[in-house]
Amino acid sequence: MLEFSAQQIALMIQGQVEGDAAVTVNNFGKIEEATAGQISFLANPKYEAFLYSTAASIIIIGEQQQLKQQINATLIRVPDAYAAFATLLTKYQELKNQQLIGIQTPSYIAPTAKLGANHFIAAFAYINEGTVLGENVKIFSNVVIGENVKIGHHVTIHPGVVIYADCIIGNHVTIHSGTIIGSDGFGFAPKVDGSFQKVPQLGNVIIEDDVEIGANTTIDRATIGSTIIRKGVKLDNQIQIAHNAEIGTNTVIAAQTGVSGSTKIGNHVMIGGQVGFAGHISIADGVKIAAKSGVTKTIKTANMTLTGNPASEQKHSLRSQVYVKNLPELEKRVQELEILVQQLSQKA
C-alpha cells in the first residue's frame, strides 16, 4: 500500500497545504464516507456539508471555497478540485503499475517476441511469434496477443483481452478486460443460390496514442487496409467498431454504440450511448450525438447537435417530438371537424 504526506500530494497536483503538511494517507474515499488515513475531494457544492463532518485526513478543495466552520482535516487548495483529484488518481495508478515488473508463470512468450524494458507479463498470458512490446507494457492474465502485433510504450492490457495478428497499438494506451481487437469484419457476399460466401478480412487495426478502450468492446480488422482509432479517442464498454471504420482524434463514444463498416467519424465528436451509425457515411468534426440516435446519412456541418432516429438537428427533432405528442389531440379535432362538415352538408 502506497502512503503519501499532504506535502507530497500538494507537489503532485500543484496545490497549497492548509493544516498539517506531514499528515499521511494511504487510500481514497468519498467525502461522505471517508475515514482517517484517506484522502477525498470537494467539487460539487451539494456535498459541502460533508466537508465539516468527514473523517478524511486530507481533502482537496477549490481555491475559492469559503469555510463556514472549523475543519479537522488538512486541506489542499487547487484551482480545480475535480481535475486535481483525477490527476492524483492517475499518478497513483502509474506508481502502482511501476511496481509490476517481470514475468509470472505459467505464461507463454514466443522465442521471436521482443519485450521492452520494465515489462510485466502475468500468468496465463500468451504472446505469439513476432510480437514487439515497448517499454513499461503491462499485460495481465489470459491476454492473447497474435502474431506480429506491435505495441508501444506505457501500455496496459487488462485480463482477457485478445489482440489478433498484425494489429498496431500506440503509446499510452489502456485496453480493458474482454476487449477484442482485430477480429474479422462482417463481410459476406451473397451467392446465386441464396447462401453467403465469406470475404477474407486481410487488413488490421491501428490504435494510435493516448487511447482508452472500455471492457468488452470489439474493433474489427479491415477487409483491406486498416480500421483506425485516432489519437486521444476514449471508448466506453460494449462498443462495436466495424471493419474499415475510422474514429477521429479525441472523439468520445459511450456504451453500446455501433459503428458500421467504412464509416468515418471526425475529430472531437461526442457520441452518447446506444447510437447506431449506418455504413459508408462520414461525420464532421465537433458533432454531438444524443443517446439512442440513429445516424443514417453523412453529416457535413461541423459542431452541430443531432438527436432522434433518423438523427436530425436537435431543434428540428425536438419540434417533431412536440408535434407527435399533440397528434391525439389533433386527431380528435379533425374528427370533430369532419362531424361538423357532415352536419352542415346535411342541412344544405
Residue 160 zone, left/alpha/beta (φ > 0; ψ -120 to 50; rest): left
CA distance 339 to 272: 47
User: For the residues 63-74, what does the mean pLDDT come to?
Assistant: 91
Per-residue model confidence (pLDDT) at position 319: 66
Q: What is the pLDDT of residues 202-258, one digit of tens each?
A: 999 999 999 999 999 999 999 999 999 999 999 999 999 999 999 999 999 999 999
| Contact (Cβ atoms closer than 8 angstroms) between residue 207 and residue 173 | yes
Per-residue model confidence (pLDDT) at position 323: 66
User: For the residues 166-188, what does the mean pLDDT come to?
Assistant: 97
Residue 338 zone, left/alpha/beta (φ > 0; ψ -120 to 50; rest): alpha
Per-residue model confidence (pLDDT) at position 318: 67
Whether the predicted pLDDT of 324 surpasses 90:
no
Q: What is the pLDDT of residues 249-301, one digit of tens each?
A: 999 999 999 999 999 999 999 999 999 999 999 999 999 999 999 999 999 99
Per-residue model confidence (pLDDT) at position 255: 97
| Residue with cell string 476514449 | 234
Of 333, 296, 326, which Cα lies nearest the Cα of 311?
Answer: 296
Q: Based on the number of CB atoms within 10 Å of its own CB, is 170 exposed (0-12), middle (13-18) or buried (19 or more)?
A: buried
Pick the catalytic residue from 243, 268, 280, 316.
243
Per-residue model confidence (pLDDT) at position 89: 92
- Determine whether 243 is an active site residue: yes
Higher pLDDT, 98 or 32: 32
- Indicate the DSSP class of residue 301: S
Per-residue model confidence (pLDDT) at position 348: 64
3-state secondary structure of 313: strand
Give ranges for CATH 3.40.1390.10 in the chain: 4-98
Q: How much is the mean pLDDT over the chain?
A: 93
- In CATH, what class is 161-310? mainly beta
User: For the residues 80-108, what does the mean pLDDT come to?
Assistant: 90
CATH of region 4-98: 3.40.1390.10
Whether the predicted pLDDT of 320 surpasses 90:
no
CA distance 234 to 211: 6
List CB contacts of 110: < 8 A, sequence separation 6 or more: 127, 128, 129, 130, 131
Whether the predicted pLDDT of 176 surpasses 90:
yes
Q: pTM of the full predicted structure?
A: 0.81
Of 104, 112, 161, 107, which Cα lies nearest the Cα of 133?
Answer: 112
Give ranges for CATH 2.160.10.10 in the chain: 161-310
